[in-house]
Structure 1
Amino acid sequence: MEQREESTERLARPLIQLAKAEGIETSYIGQQGEYVEIDDGVIIDVLASLGIDASNQEAIEQALVQSAEQKFGRLVAPTVLHIHGKTTHVPVYHGVTDIPQATLTCEDGTQMQLTPDAGDGQPARLVNGNFIVNSSIVIPSDVPLGYHTLTVQVAERKAEATLISVPEKVELIDGLKGDKERMWGWMAQCYTIRSAASWGVGDFEDLGLLLEHAQHTGADFVLINPIHAAEPCTPLTPSPYLPISRRFINFTYIRPEAIAEYANLDDATREHVSQLWQSVEPLNTNAQQIDRDAMWNAKMPALWAIFKAGRSAERQREFDQFKQAQGDDLEGYATWCLAYDKWGAPSADTNSWITTTHRDSDAVNQLRNKYPDTLDFYRWLEWIADEQFTGAQQRAHRAGMRIGIMSDMAVGVHPLGSDVWWNPERFAQGATVGAPPDYFNQQGQNWSQPPLNPKYLRETGYQAYRDLVSNMFAHSGAVRIDHAIGLFRLWWIPQGRSAKQGAYVRNDADIMMGILALEAQRAHGVVVGEDLGVVPQYMAQGLRDHGLMGCAVEWFEQMEGAFIPPQQWAQLALASVNTHDIPPAAGYLNYVHVKLRNELGLLTGSYEDFMKSANHEHNALLSMLIDEGCIERQWLEDEQAHEQEIVEGLHRALLLAPSKLYAASITDAVGERRAQNQPGTNNEYSNWRIPLADSEGKAVSVEQLFELERAQSLAAVMRGNK
């Protein structure tokens, strides 16, 4: 019989026991159903990234003792989850004759005394020379939602824990609660959405205009690329999925002329800003490639001029309040930007400032003191970006959108970015995340992003994650979680090892999804988890149980070579025809993905075999669309002549699905064929740099977008009017 789990002998090994105690999965089932055991060397390296020495048997035995002491030697776990509406029993570990007392201080300052209860009946444990038993503290069902402080005292010992009281799941918002109630929207890459007043790259004003125009088509939301913070100087990283910080916003999306202080500039400064804009204005009609660097080299001095012009007393108070509210995290990002500005781009070189300094270094303090205006400029950029991003969402609501912006949350951050430099303790040291080998990537994937340290999250009440989620909902009506299975586990790759030489490390999914549910309820928002690919059943069930919507992508909804009819797709999902990682519908129908992968040398087999497979997939999907009445059979006799009808048929199928949300890509509204991103490449392809253009290769502005007959026709399909 084929082995599917670890043997009793393997499970009895101290190294395996230590790994499992620390949340490391020592085996897994691969995409093809194969059973894989993690090598000892990899396990030892992953433990090292968590700060645990397992280099020899003595160290392993000592680490096992320390692991038990950390769990049973403390009164209470540092983070406790409570489900609002249910009673929670929180374990308390103490001496045999001790009686615990507990107080809960709610986030609004109110206090309540809590009742102790009997434990789980387990025998006493010998921990650090003392016999330890456990009882429990009863958390009543009516404890309000929020982040509270649980204080437990036993004799002279006292401990505090963060008690997170969350909804049982993400509740559906008004407009989605009824069996037949649904909402639809558009998907867009912000940097591609440009107007006549842009600086060559789409910005927050363009986003606001897009939202207003999109509402007139009947849409209730626009899903956008991640807007996380970027570097302050060129060259700018094209990918929005490798941010400098997830805590803050990409200030390169600021529109200078929309800043309140712009109206008060003197004539000379206004003319200076105008000339800078004129230098990049021709880029707005460039249909070949987005030039972020040219944009920022012009926009940066314009922003500096506006900053130096000063603010009214009232506006300065608002700025000061923003700085105070953002706290130390803002100081970290602004300081990192200042260091980048004055010392140059950080690198992995041992002499780079990113490796030779830290937040408390004398050199860093001297830099901050030497350039106070520049430091404040970077704080100011975040304030303005926050204002303008918030303003775009407000425009969506004023226009009548029920959700507005759906923001995308990247998996992680750049290893040389501000989050990692300023707060290295938040991250695992010596490991990055990625994916194990699968059908599409036989060597696995390394995304180069360091994972958040689960131990740090627990010890700090998940504060960093709470701030991230809260900040995203402050600007959006919905949040999409990229690689949502990362809520449960992430593939950690130790430094110096290949992507296939990693191991899964578990996160506390209940706490993380609970925080998502709490922040979504406070914002009356929606959470979508990107769950594409192979997702273990327990994870899929966990996402559903917590009310997170999944993703149903038409091209991926197939099984054993046949496409699944839309009526059988998930109800709790965002349904779409495609994603940013595959070409738009017209491109996919014309095999752009096959030709591109062949040109870039990404095929593992022959071009002929891949084309044959793609052709089979193509025909199978169109056959399903014919069966469901979404397209006419005779159109297949001349697909080129009926391309638009077939594209609309692909979208018409979305309306047959029970999915609560469904979306169309802006690229499909204009007839674009080029993919925004080709996975497995960097600069071999213009990833994240493809402007919005129509089927004839002509740039499309946001003012023109929904005036196009093709866009109006697709919008009519999405409304169910065609």
Structure 2
Amino acid sequence: MDGHGNPRPVGVQRAYWDVSGRLRRPPPEAVHAVERALDADPHEPPPAVEPVVVAWDGRLRARLRARRLPDRVACAVLLEDGTELGWRVVPTRELPDDQAMLRLPELLPLGAHRLRLAAGRERWQSVVLSAPRRLPAVPAPGWGVWVPSHALWSQKNGGPDFEALRRAAAWLREQGGGVLGTLPLYAGLLDEPCEPSPYLPASRLFWNELLVHTGGGSPRSGGPLDYRQAFRDRRTRLLELWRACGDRERQEVEAWAAGQPWLTEYAAFRALLDLQRRPWRQWPEPHRGGLVPEGSVDPDARGLYTYAQWLAGRQLERVAFEGVWVYLDLPLGVHPDGFDAWRFRGLFADGVTVGAPPDPFSARGQDWGFAPPHPHRVREDGYAYLRACLARAFSVARMLRLDHVMALHRLYWIPQGFSAAEGVYVRYPAEELYAAVMLEAARAGAVVVGEDLGTVPNEVRRELDKRGFWRMYVLLFELVGPGAREPGRNTVASLGTHDTPTFAGFWEGLDIAERERLLGLGAEAAQVERLRRASQVRSLARWLGVSSEDPRGALRALFRWLGRSPAACVLASVEDLWGETERHHLPGTPSHAYANWRRRMRYALEDWTQSEEVREVLAELRRARSAGG
């Protein structure tokens, strides 16, 4: 922001500081490619009124640019509920360059409203995001557990499904815990094409049909989850259930569907995808262009997806009704072959993907394979798509983690034909993005957690603190000297994440062997890391007062320590509680090299929820939270 409240300019950042403190300059050709993708004319004058105006705490201050500033401006605000407010406002000429400030005399309610301005023959309009300047403090549960949704299975119903998640929530409530964390639960591409990563969903607006509980089923422990077969089985069962629906239930589903934006298009897209069995960019017209004429798909093929979303919504409500907070992730992007990229293609930049520059964990940088939101086009949309994604998430989640929260400020764009090490940072209108997030969080009375791990500019963390966001604390990243840094107050503290080794895997150094085998870590470097890890483990064990040969004892001691810390919430990964060594995701590895997102939990739901060892560790955490958290 400048001194007049103008948003920080959107545009290309021609240099950046890397993780080692070196100033990096992308190749000029990469910068030019990104500028072409932005498709912005640097000589075009700014609009008379910005397409989005933020009203912090309801106080609207809008800039008006005009060569001849009017004496009075007619201002009308159309509120979300249809109410229209109007005033005649005198612009205050306090800004340079033919700019004036318009201040409305009344506070606006929370919401996304329409601002209309008129002076003489001139007419302007804008979207107003009226949001709290700081998220209100929400009393949240002090501890909970994290379970990987795709890996849950039950002796009773097989799985994975939302019913297993509900049963896990009920069990957690019985243990005294209050937060159930899991992976993103969004619809995925699980047939043709097939992408099992929950962080590359087909849509951030609809739930995962694979997780819809359809009754029956058989346990599928043991080998990796076969997504294609599991999805086909679930789709077949959903079609059977939909065809078996009576008139009353069909009417109920159809009445509900009529109030769900984009659901008709989504169901048609999924039915077309099943029919075409290839990415939408290879479909014939008019389907490729986003049109699905009547009769293009079988009504039942479309109906099963509508029915699945209706069931998913009801089943997720039951999870929330168990009395624990659901903690979900909002992925940064969507799969390029999915529904959102098809339906909202104009909101994404062409010819570029999102990633991360080189760092110690990925010497060549990372290319995540999805298109970034186009900063100008999402503004022109009034952030309607983003707000809809947030509203969908908050319909279930009382705590929502924003993946790669730095994206509210900037994103690393990689132009086609360039390596991940040659990417370019693009700035985004941070104030407006924060307002969009905070508006939807305030509606829901929810907590927002910013994923701020790794190299994150200080300005991002300062803004998170200023706006009342929580941050993340991951112990494996906070080991210093003989022990670890203490978590801050507004943090969600855990031992690791879905991208780190399990605690037992870390203790035994198994992640080093994985990187040596699969990620090109040299033998000499691997040996250095093993020696460093062994020293780290010995120091941590001494600090905790346990033997380095006793990882279970260290785990318990760490949860006691975290429990007494100032952290707002402590999360325990259920699999850590029985000493699991295999991880669910090894970043940087292709699916043929590592079973990313396919490993099932070692034990059925019925077994681990009855485990005395699991109960005892959680009881210690509960007591520590009561004593000092």
- Tell whether the structures are fold-level matches, with TM greater than 0.5: yes
Matched, 1:305 2:240: yes
**Cα RMSD for the two superposed structures:** 2.2
- Alignment partner of 1:103: what SS? strand
Matched, 1:378 2:305: yes
Matched, 1:643 2:576: no
**Offset of residue 554 of structure 1:** 0.5
Q: How does 1:638-677 map to 2 (within 5 A)?
A: 639=549, 642-677=550-585
One-letter amino acid of the counterpart of residue 692, structure 1:
M
One-letter amino acid of the counterpart of residue 498, structure 2:
H
Q: Name the counterpart of 2:477.
A: 556
Segments of 4+ moved more than 6 angstroms: none
Q: Name the counterpart of 2:107.
A: 142
Matches of 1:546 and 1:213, distance apart in 2: 34
Matched, 1:169 2:130: no
Give ranges in structure 2 of 5+ residues lacking alignment.
Answer: 1-7
Q: How does 1:101-250 map to 2 (within 5 A)?
A: 101-114=74-87, 115-123=89-97, 133-140=98-105, 142-175=107-140, 183-199=142-158, 201-231=159-189, 233=191, 236-250=194-208
- Alignment partner of 1:120: what SS? strand
Matches of 1:495 and 1:325, distance apart in 2: 39
Q: How does 1:199-598 map to 2 (within 5 A)?
A: 199=158, 201-231=159-189, 233=191, 236-257=194-215, 277=217, 281-283=218-220, 286-313=221-248, 315-327=249-261, 329-346=262-279, 352-353=282-283, 357-361=287-291, 364-365=292-293, 368-394=295-321, 396-397=322-323, 401=324, 404-558=325-479, 563-566=483-486, 569-598=487-516
**Which among 595, 599, 623 is matched to residue 686 of structure 1?**
595
Matched, 1:24 2:2: no
Asked whether the 8 Å contact 2:401–2:450 carries over to 1, the reply is: yes
**Offset of residue 37 of structure 1:** 2.0
Asked whether the 8 Å contact 1:426–1:452 carries over to 2, the reply is: yes
Q: So what's the TM-score if we normalise by structure 1?
A: 0.81
Asked whether the 8 Å contact 2:26–2:424 carries over to 1, the reply is: yes
One-letter amino acid of the counterpart of residue 565, structure 1:
R
Asked whether the 8 Å contact 1:485–1:539 carries over to 2, the reply is: yes
- Alignment partner of 1:469: what SS? helix
**Offset of residue 618 of structure 1:** 4.9
Asked whether the 8 Å contact 1:170–1:516 carries over to 2, the reply is: no
Give ranges in structure 1 of 5+ residues lacking alignment.
Answer: 1-19, 53-62, 124-132, 176-181, 258-273, 694-699
- Alignment partner of 1:137: what SS? strand
Inter-CA distance 570–611: structure 2 relative to 1 (3 Å threshold): farther
**Offset of residue 294 of structure 1:** 3.0
Asked whether the 8 Å contact 1:169–1:547 carries over to 2, the reply is: yes
Over the matched positions of the two proteins, sequence identity in percent amounts to: 27
CA deviation map 1:525-581 (0-9, x unaligned): 11111110011111110111111111110010145x665432xx3211111111111
Matches of 2:424 and 2:244, distance apart in 1: 53
Matches of 1:370 and 1:437, distance apart in 2: 45
Inter-CA distance 305–354: structure 2 relative to 1 (3 Å threshold): same
Q: So what's the TM-score if we normalise by structure 2?
A: 0.93
Asked whether the 8 Å contact 2:60–2:107 carries over to 1, the reply is: no
If you compute each CA radius of gyration, which structure gives the higher value, 1 or 2?
1
One-letter amino acid of the counterpart of residue 308, structure 1:
R
**Offset of residue 238 of structure 1:** 1.8
**Offset of residue 343 of structure 1:** 1.0
Asked whether the 8 Å contact 1:433–1:490 carries over to 2, the reply is: yes
Inter-CA distance 47–619: structure 2 relative to 1 (3 Å threshold): same
CA deviation map 1:19-66 (0-9, x unaligned): x954211111111101012332112211221234xxxxxxxxxx2222
Matches of 2:482 and 2:460, distance apart in 1: 24
**Offset of residue 355 of structure 1:** 8.9
Matches of 1:485 and 1:422, distance apart in 2: 26
Higher helix residue share: 1
**Offset of residue 721 of structure 1:** 5.4
Inter-CA distance 518–343: structure 2 relative to 1 (3 Å threshold): same
Inter-CA distance 76–702: structure 2 relative to 1 (3 Å threshold): same
Matches of 1:621 and 1:546, distance apart in 2: 37
Inter-CA distance 495–138: structure 2 relative to 1 (3 Å threshold): same
Count of aligned residue pairs for this structure pair: 615
**Offset of residue 295 of structure 1:** 2.3
Matches of 2:472 and 2:605, distance apart in 1: 27
